[in-house]
Amino acid sequence: MEAQNPYSTPRSKVTGAPAAYGEIKVFSAKGRIGRVRYIGYSVGMTMLMGLALGILSAVLGKIAGPDLAAAVVVASYVAIFVVMMLLTIQRAHDFNASGWLALLAIVPLVNLIFWFIPGTDGENRFGLQTPPNGTGAVVLALILPLVFIVGIVAAIALPAYQQYVKRAGTTQSQ
C-alpha cells in the first residue's frame, strides 16, 4: 500500500452547479434588488437625476423663463419618485413580499424596513437571487452616511463660524 502525501492536490471532483443570479433592471418593477444595491442605487439615482434635471431647469429658466423651469422641477420630482418606487418594489420582491408593500416607502421612518429586512436566499416567486454586490454598489451605499455626516457637521459649523466672524468684526471695530 502506498502512503498518501498530505501535501498533494485534492483529487475529488467538485459537483454542483454554480449559483444562478437574476439580472438587475433598475427601470423595471419586475425582479429583485438587494439591500446594498437598493441603498446605493436610490442615493446615486436621486443625486444624478437631481443634478441633471436641476441644471436643465436652471438653463431653461434663463432661456424661457421661470414658468418652464418650475415645470421642469415638478417633472424632475415626479421622475425621481417613479424611479424610487420602482426600486422599492424590487426591494420588496427581494424579501418575497408583494410590490404593493412599496407604498410604505411614502410613510416617514417606516420606509427603513426596506433597509433592514434581509432578502430571501436563493430563488423566490419573483425571480433568481440577486448577484453579489460589487465595489461600485458598496461605495454608492456608503455615500449616504457620508452625506448625512457632512450635512450635520455643516449645520453645526456654519452658524458657529458666522457667529465667530461677527464677534471678530465687532471686537476689531472697537
The pLDDT > 90 percentage for the chain reads 16
Identify whether 19 is part of a domain.
no
* Average pLDDT value for residue range 58-63: 87
- SS3 assignment, position 47: helix
pLDDT tens per residue, range 48-57: 888 998 898 8
> What's residue 60's pLDDT?
87
H, E, C per residue of 75-120: HHHHHHHHHHHHHHHHHHHHCCCCHHHHHHHHCCCHHHHHHHCCCC
Predicted confidence at residue 103, as pLDDT, reads 92
In a domain, 71, yes or no: yes
**How many C-beta neighbours within 10 Å does residue 70 have?**
13
**In the structure grid, which three cell numbers stand for residue 39, read together?**
441603498
Confidence of residue 89 (pLDDT cuts 50, 70, 90): very high
The values of phi and psi at residue 129, to 5°, are -60, 150
For residue 18, what pLDDT is reported?
63
Q: What's the pLDDT tens digit per position in 106-154? A: 898 888 899 899 988 888 888 888 888 888 888 888 887 888 888 888 8
Q: Is residue 7 part of a domain?
A: no
Domain count, the chain: 1
Task: Kindly report which listed range (7-21, 68-82, 109-123) carries the lowest average pLDDT score.
Answer: 7-21
Domain of 59? 35-173
Average pLDDT score over the chain: 86
Q: Is residue 16 part of a domain?
A: no
Are 68 and 78 in contact by the 8 Å Cβ rule? The answer is no
Query: Is residue 139 domain-resident?
Result: yes
Whether 58 maps to a domain, the answer reads: yes
Q: Is the pLDDT of residue 92 over 90?
A: yes
Is the per-residue pLDDT at 3 higher than 70? yes
Residue 26 resides in a domain: no
